[in-house]
Amino acid sequence: ETPIERKPSWIRTKARTGPQYTELKGLVRSGGLHTVCEEAGCPNIYECWEDREATFLIGGEQCTRRCDFCQIDTGKPADLDRDEPRRVAESVQQMGLRYSTVTGVARDDLPDGGAWLYAETVDQIHRMNPGTGVELLAPDFNNRDELLDEVFASRPEVFAHNLETVPRIFKRIRPAFRYDRSLDVITKARAAGLVTKSNLILGMGETPDEVTAALRDLHDAGCEIITITQYLRPSPRHHPVERWVKPEEFVAHSETAEAIGFAGVMAGPLVRSSYRAGRLYAQTVAA
C-alpha cells in the first residue's frame, strides 16, 4: 500500500444503526432483495436506510462502457431481462421506501440503449408505490432525442446524469462519454420539465479551479442539484487516487456551488450521488 492509497482519517465512517435501518435490513434479507447500498458496501447505508431511501442497479452486471473509476465490469451484457422493472418496483414496495434511486449500466448493445428498461422501471415503481419518489441516474443514451424523450416521459422526480469529471481529463476517465454531450443530456432533461442533478468525483487529477469551471458549465446547462464526492479506487486496475480532498475543500466547493446558483448541494468525502437523495430533492423543491 503506497501512502496515497491509504485513506485519511476523515474517510472513516461510524456505524450507527437505527430502527428503520434494522427493519429494512430484515426485509431485505427475508425477501432476498438486492440493493446497491449493500452490494457496494456503501458506508452511508445507516443514514440512507434510516430515511428509507435505497438504490437499485438495473440492466445487469456487465456494462458496455469502461469508465476508469467504476467498479462495474465491462463486457457483453446478458439478454435484456424484461421482468426486471417489476421486480425492482416490488422491492421498493416490500422495503416500504420513501425514495428510491435507480441507476444502471450503459446498454449500447441494445437498439434502444436500454431506454425502455429505464423508463419502464420508473413507471412501475410509481404505479406500485404512489407515494415514493424515484430518482433516475441514467447514462447518456448517446444523446439521441427519441430515446431521451422516452425516458423523460416516465417522469422521475429527479433525472440525474453524472458528469463526474472535468474536460481536461474527461476522455481518459470516461472514454465512451463526451463532456459536452453529457451537458446536453442535462439541458434536454431540464427542458422536458424535470428536476436535474449531476455529480463530480474529485481526486482523479482535476484542480479546484477546474471544479469551479465544471460547476459553472453544469449550472449553465440547467443542472439544479449537485453532489461532489471523493474518488475511491475500486482496484489497482482502476485510475489511481490522485489526491484526498480535505473536508475544508468540500466546504469551499459547496459554497461555490451555492453561489453559482444550484438549488441543492451535497459535498463531502463520503457523499455518493445517491446519498440522502430524497432529502436533497425535498430541500430543492421546497426552495
Contact residues toward ligand SF4 (CB under 6 A) are: 36-37, 42, 44-45, 48, 53-55, 63, 65-67, 70, 72, 101, 105-106, 139, 272, 274-275
C-beta of 83: minimal distance to ligand SF4 in Å? 21
C-beta of 200: minimal distance to ligand SF4 in Å? 13
> What is the distance between the alpha carbons of residues 14 and 113, in angstroms, rounded to a whole number?
39
Question: Counting beta carbons within 10 angstroms of the beta carbon of residue 3, is it exposed (0 to 12), middle (13 to 18) or buried (19 or more)?
Answer: exposed
Asked if 228 and 264 touch (Cβ cutoff 8 Å), the reply is no
Which stretch of DSSP H or E encloses residue 264? strand 264-268
C-beta of 232: minimal distance to ligand SF4 in Å? 12
Asked if 196 and 190 touch (Cβ cutoff 8 Å), the reply is yes
Of 70 and 225, nearer to ligand SF4 (C-beta) is: 70
> What is the distance between the alpha carbons of residues 272 and 228, in angstroms, rounded to a whole number?
8
C-beta of 212: minimal distance to ligand SF4 in Å? 23
C-beta of 76: minimal distance to ligand SF4 in Å? 13
Of 72 and 211, nearer to ligand SF4 (C-beta) is: 72
The DSSP letter of residue 99 is E
Of 138 and 195, nearer to ligand SF4 (C-beta) is: 138
C-beta of 229: minimal distance to ligand SF4 in Å? 10
Of 68 and 259, nearer to ligand SF4 (C-beta) is: 68
Question: Counting beta carbons within 10 angstroms of the beta carbon of residue 135, is it exposed (0 to 12), middle (13 to 18) or buried (19 or more)?
Answer: buried
Of 245 and 271, nearer to ligand SF4 (C-beta) is: 271
Of 23 and 212, nearer to ligand SF4 (C-beta) is: 23
Altogether, the residues listed in the chain come to a count of 287
Please name the residues in contact with 222: beta carbons below 8 A apart, sequence gap of 6 or more.
186, 187, 189, 190, 191, 196
Of 85 and 278, nearer to ligand SF4 (C-beta) is: 278
Of 28 and 48, nearer to ligand SF4 (C-beta) is: 48
Q: Dig out the grid coordinates for 49 from the structure.
A: 436506510
| Cα angle for residues 12, 17, 23 (degrees, 5° grid) | 140
The DSSP letter of residue 5 is G
C-beta of 3: minimal distance to ligand SF4 in Å? 27
C-beta of 4: minimal distance to ligand SF4 in Å? 22
The DSSP letter of residue 132 is -
Question: In angstroms, how far is the first alpha carbon of the chain from the final one?
Answer: 45
85 backbone dihedrals φ, ψ, rounded to 5°: -55, -45
